[in-house]
Structure 1
């Protein structure tokens, strides 16, 4: 297991970067703890929202499409809510990013777990 974590902990934290309904299904499929996953998901969403805002200011990124997509990819529902506060274009791109992340994670993560033997 990675860094000494048990298989259950890995299965619980692996889907933390997608929106909750998808992450719950993945976690159950992998045999992880939904409670642990929800804690990781909340922390991921809060930190992603904070850091995307900070990095965007630092790099002077003002394009709502870029900000929204980054918030949706990294901050799932919390990031998407923040994107809609920025504007409708940012919210639309955040929704797109969150959806794409969910689809790819739901398809690839279980396969990756099977291939690695976890």
Structure 2
């Protein structure tokens, strides 16, 4: 009568990994859109709970000094924390009044930019 935990996790991971729509899981895994949305929220909350203290926080002064010295030692560039990368993420709940402000012509929908700095030890 109910979906297994594995089915629910696979639906959430497929959505997060392949950026598919929620209702795609209904066709492939026979899991409803509502269940997939709930599982993605649950999965995200679990990832946050497990990793937020170590990885999902602002760096301390000690962290910054360690990253600076490691990067300079490895690459010879002083004053760099790591490698910067960014990507555009669709902003589905963008207020209508802001659509023009956050929409690029080549993308055609409101987006936000996710910027990330990763160190050599993959600390983000």
Return the TM-score normalized by structure 2. 0.34
Specify the structure having the higher radius of gyration (Cα).
2
Considering fraction of residues, name the structure with more strand: 2
- The structure showing larger relative contact order (alpha-carbon pairs under 8 Å, at least 6 residues apart) is 1
